[in-house]
Amino acid sequence: MNHQQKDDNNSLRNWQEKLLPPEVIMEKARSNGFIKRMRKLDPTYLLYVLIFGISSHCKPTLEEIHRDYQDLGGKSAGTKEIRYQSFHNRFDSNMALFLRAMLDHYINITFADSPARLKGPVGILKDILIQDSSIVRLSKKLAEEFPPARSRSEAAGLKIHAVYSAVSHSLKSFEITDEKTHDYKKIRIDGNIKDVLFLFDLGYYSHYVLANINERGGFFVSRVKNSAKPKLKEIVSESKIFDSIFEKGMNLGDFLEKVPKSDEIELICTFTGRDKEKTMGQKKINADFRVVCFWDENDKIWHNYVTNLPGDAYKKDEIYQLYRYRWIIELLFKEMKSDYDLGKFLLAREPLALIHVYSMLIRLVLSRNLYKKMVASLDEDEKPRYGPLLWSKVFAEKAHEFLSIIDQSIFGKESVGERWKKLEDSLRRLACSRHKGYDRISLKYVGF
């Protein structure tokens, strides 16, 4: 196996210099009011500690983060020792704004500088975007700012609405709201979406959204809600049994109750409705889309998928496989919560809650950025062995090693090139040793 880098730009040290430049960090800190003049707190060292100073499955306190910062920042001639109380007080709304700005910066870099490409049946598309949300539990003291969806007696609930890009293999955008905010209200269909495929779960289901994507040249695959009543227009599947049951204009549910419960069926259905975001002069929706129905013998139910992907290019089974790819964003949330301990701290102040979420999202984006560069340098037959969920565990385990090397590269007198190389080899070796031989759904439609 060839582990040599394809070019110098893929080395860990160059990755650090590109993604963590002090001048960019300082500019973001000043522009958001976090740093007005350099005195005791250096935002660059603080960001290093927040990203890399937390080991896998560790629950650090602010005291521990303060000690890590003192170990790193205390070596700089330009900074002074900062007492814990002063350090604690800096975790405020301005710091949250600074981290939000850094997160947006890293998302933009990762999206613009991705070596990934779509492959297989989706190779002609520009991107696959998947939207979903996840709840992060907070202290009951924040119930007024982030009210829970069910009961005021529960802990507060913060919801992360995220859009995942298959091409960037990471976050494309995100928004934070309280738990009560419905997913549909935060759906993102903006910019040039021509030849972009959207994958939604039922929380985002809307006939208006589907029609909007179709009108703007995009594509979608979504489950059909049980309460939806699309009207049958045409049967694509060839079967005399279907023909004898079919009546133009009948509801999809009524049709499926009468057909044999052991088939895959493809139909053309008419979807109607109104834009529920409008109040006056509501826009009427009337569009024909493909509906692919699969009978689930275990649960004894039909799984129905609606799409505007052309039937000659995407067969029934491929529609199901594409929707299954939506699970990737679930793995993204699992990665943040299991490997980065997102949501395991019942923080009692809103700025602290936002700082925690932004720090973990930055860590995720940087981890995915490095993951793509490492995988891109491997031989083709080796790439499927490195899934992102496995990578996140390895990255979390080596977080303190990153911080140690950054420390030495800033303040050490000797070259740390050899340590960078050993860390790179270790990351690859750990990821390879844990591979269990199963296909990586995350790499099914994406190559590097």
- The pLDDT of residue 8 is 43
Give yes or no: residues 30 and 101 share one domain. yes
With a cut of 50, list the residues of the chain below it in pLDDT: 1-10, 279-280, 438
Quote the CA–CA distance of 247 and 238 in Å, as a whole number: 15
In a domain, 394, yes or no: yes
Distance between the two ends of the chain, CA-based, in angstroms? 17
In whole angstroms, give the CA distance from residue 143 to residue 140. Answer: 5
Q: How far apart are CA 340 and CA 169, in angstroms?
A: 18
pLDDT score recorded for residue 7: 43
CA atoms of 53 and 411, how far apart (whole Å): 17
pLDDT for res 59: 66
Nearest CA to 302 out of 259, 338, 244 is that of 259
Domain annotation covers residue 332: no
Q: Please, which residues have CB within 8 angstroms of residue 36's CB and are 6 or more apart in sequence?
A: 30
**Residue 363 shares a structural domain with residue 274:** no
In a domain, 201, yes or no: no
Q: How many angstroms from the chain centroid is the CA of residue 320?
A: 21
Question: What pLDDT is attached to residue 3?
Answer: 39
**Per-residue pLDDT tens digits for 311-329:** 888 998 899 899 988 888 8
Per DSSP, helices labelled H in 184-314 are 207-215, 240-245, 252-258
* DSSP 3-state of 159: strand
Q: Does 51 reside within a domain?
A: yes
Per the CB < 8 A criterion, the answer to whether 421 and 28 are in contact is no
Classify residue 75: in a domain, yes or no: yes
Q: What is the pTM (predicted TM-score) of this model?
A: 0.82
Domain count, the chain: 2
Task: Evaluate whether residue 195 is within a structural domain.
Answer: no
Q: Are residues 97 and 8 in the same domain?
A: yes
- Domain range spanning residue 283? 219-307
Question: CA 441 from chain center: how many Å?
Answer: 15
